[in-house]
Structure 1
Amino acid sequence: MKVLVTGGAGFIGSHIVDHLLEEGMEVVIVDNLTTGSESYLRPEASFYRLNIQDEGLMDVFREERPDAVIHQAGQSKVPASIEDPIWDAQTNILGTIRVLEGCRQYGVKKVVYASSAAVYGNPQYLPIDEEHPVQPLSPYGVSKYTPEHYLKAYDELYGIRYTVFRYANVYGVRQLPGGEAGVITILMNKLINGETFRIEGDGEQSRDFIYVEDIATANLSALKQGDGEILNIGTGKRTTLNELIGVLEECLGRKVETAYSPERPGDIKDSYFHNERVMRVLNWTPRIDLKTGLQRTYDYYRMKAEN
């Protein structure tokens, strides 16, 4: 199978590429390297430095004729979407439509799409399941949700199968601070630089933190199953910021310097997933516990700092 990965030089996409290659698949990467890195590219994969909005994307589809697309490319910063909603929509909505047009014109059979927990907005109940009302609070949430409708339409019109993943807070090796779920990376950088980590609020706000390797294996599973499904991808476990710091202190065997400041207006207090559907539909389960994931992530950033 030949798989085109948009955003394949980025945080999540590069891990997906690694797993695809380990499974013996042919891989094509499209990435404009805005947040991705050439250092994450694998020589076995074909690489096109390209924005998904560019007309040249059609040339990639014509040349490579992939069987499937794993669509990870996009704008992932909530504040940036508020500051420039037109750019956000051009990237996440129009860019996705261009990807789907490539799929339509050149016979792609399956698309796996990275959506987000941001589509749900403030939770009306917890844990959040796939039946939870969709009420995004930011342009980013809107721009991640809108392509879900296009995927359904392209399936009905042209028979292009799809699976939608709504990601919880993904963390791990290669993540850049400042993205949708960059709190752990920010914390790691503060630790390594000997700085105090500032917590906005009382630290009891909670999220569902899932390690990037588990996200990658879910994407691979969706290439052959889960057609027409919208699936929450998370651990199903609630972790407060204070608990997160406590686990990290266990890993390091030392205290993490923290300081508390007033709560930031508009922040969602609690968000974590009900993940039984994805476990059943894809026969998938998250395997990396929080302590293991934090240790791997810290070791990676410490090694980068030393080099």
Structure 2
Amino acid sequence: MKILITGGAGFIGSHLVRLLLEQGHAVTVLDDLSTGAKAHIEGLPIGLWQADIREKAVTARIAAAHFDAVVHLAAQTMVDASLRDPHFDAEENVIGLVNVLEGARLGGTRRVIFASTAAVYGDVSARDLPVREEQALAPLSFYGMTKVAGEQYLALYKKIFGLDYVVLRFANVYGERQGDRGEGGVISIFAKRVARGSSITIFGDGGQTRDFIYAGDIASGIACALRTEHACRAYNLGTQTELSLNELVRVLGKAAGKALAPAYAAPREGDIYRSALSNAAARRNLGWTPKVTLEEGLRRTYAYVKETAAQ
């Protein structure tokens, strides 16, 4: 297939580019390089468009290329940033999405894969964990809200224009080439500080839980979504496992060969307390399952951080 990946020079995108090339697809990356980096995809046989999805000109460029599929990863991904600047969050996550969808529609694209998030669910009760896709959406941040809006745009584009889509609600993604942004950024932040011999700080009591999933497993989930017959719905991509931040620190310390003692600070506004995503629907309809254990994923991530810090 001829595939466009928006945000393809970013953290998750760089994992996906490599996988899709291995599978024999023709890949073009659209990225403004504000958070992504050319170094993440340097030397790979791809097309690179340096452009901002907020600019309407991207619509015509996408339409003219007639992609078979578009994977839309480009987004503002930080809860705290969405609260500080709701205008930018909406421009990136709503206007940017509409520009991409219009290009796909006009260019005859058959399917759009949309990166959504566990943040669309908000705080759910313990009895509803792990969260299933049928759970009511109740975001606690503008970031989560713009992702809900994006999902609704996709549903209407299917209803009005017949454009197929798959929504993928990511758990907390981590791995090589991650910046200190987004929901899984805590691992990148902690790993870099540990590698430098600096202290780490947990915002809250450390009992808050997340569902941490390795970026390579997310890439394989996207690849499955590109070819599934069960499209036009949302799927969770997660490990279906709750891990407290205190336990994360213990496992990271094991990967780093160090005993870690975090400091604690006041919790941040908009952060949910407990999160874990059911992946039963993705297993059933996408034929996908996560393969990389947390221990192995953290080992790879820490090794990458150590290597890049030494360069």
TM-score (norm 1): 0.96
Query: 2:202·2:264 contact (CA, 8 Å) conserved in 1?
Result: yes
Per the alignment, residue 82 of structure 2 pairs with 81
1:269 aligns with 2:259: no
Which of 134, 140, 148 is the matching residue for 2:151?
Answer: 148
CA distance in 2 between partners of 1:89 and 1:39 (Å): 28
Q: Contact 1:88 / 1:139 at 8 angstroms: preserved in 2?
A: yes
What is the deviation of 1:265? 5.2
Change (3 A) 1:195 1:50: same
Does residue 252 (structure 1) correspond to residue 256 (structure 2)? The answer is: yes
| Range with greater deviation from structure 2 (247-256 or 136-145) | 247-256
- Quick one: structure 1 residues 28 and 187, their matched pair in 2 at CA, closer, same or farther if it must change by over 3 Å? same
- Please show how residues 4-83 of structure 1 align to structure 2 within 5 Å: 4-42=4-42, 43-83=44-84
**1:31-90 deviation line (CA, Å, top 9, x unaligned):** 000100010124411110001121221342244211000000011111111111111111
Deviation, 1:245, is: 1.5
**Amino acid in structure 2 at the alignment position of 1:44:** P
Indicate if the aligned counterparts of 1:195 and 1:257 stay in contact, CA closer than 8 A: no
SS in 2 for 1:223: helix
Q: What is the deviation of 1:193? A: 1.2
The aligned length equals 307
CA RMSD of aligned residues (A): 1.3
The percentage of counterpart residues that share the same residue type is: 43
Mapping of residues 1-307 of structure 1, within 5 Å: 1-42=1-42, 43-124=44-125, 125-225=128-228, 226-264=230-268, 266-307=270-311
Please state how far the C-alpha of 1:269 moved relative to its aligned partner: 1.5
TM-score of the aligned structures, taking structure 2 as reference length: 0.95
Counterpart CA distance in 1 for 2:161 and 2:202 is: 48
C-alpha distance in 1 between matches for 2:18 and 2:199: 34
Give the whole-Å Cα distance in 1 for the aligned partners of 2:77 and 2:4: 20
For residues 78-123 of structure 1, the C-alpha deviation after alignment (integer angstroms, 9 at most, x for no partner) is 1111111111111101111111101111100000000111111111
3-state SS of paired residue (2:246): helix
The verdict on how the C-alpha distance between 1:297 and 1:83 changes in structure 2, with shifts beyond 3 A counting, is same
SS at match of 1:272: coil
Q: Secondary structure at the match of 1:5?
A: strand
- Contact preservation (8 Å) 2:255, 2:302: no
Q: Which amino acid aligns with 1:284?
A: W
Report the CA distance shift for 1:296/1:107 in structure 2 as closer, same or farther (over 3 A). same
Provide the rounded CA distance (Å) in 1 between the counterparts of 2:85 and 2:206.
30
Q: List gaps (5 residues or longer) in structure 1.
A: none
Once the two structures are superposed, residues 202-253 of structure 1 have per-residue CA deviations (whole angstroms, 9 ceiling, x without a partner) of: 3111100000000000001111113112011100011111111221222233
Q: Give the letter for the 2:8 counterpart.
A: G
Query: Which structure 1 residue ranges, 4+ long, deviate > 6 Å from structure 2?
Result: none
In structure 2, distance between residues paired with 1:265 and 1:84: 14
How far the C-alpha of 1:266 sits from its partner, in A, is 4.8
Instruction: Give the deviation of 1:267 after TM superposition.
Output: 3.1
The amino acid across from 2:84 in the alignment is: E
2-side partners of 1:167 and 1:85: how far apart?
A: 21
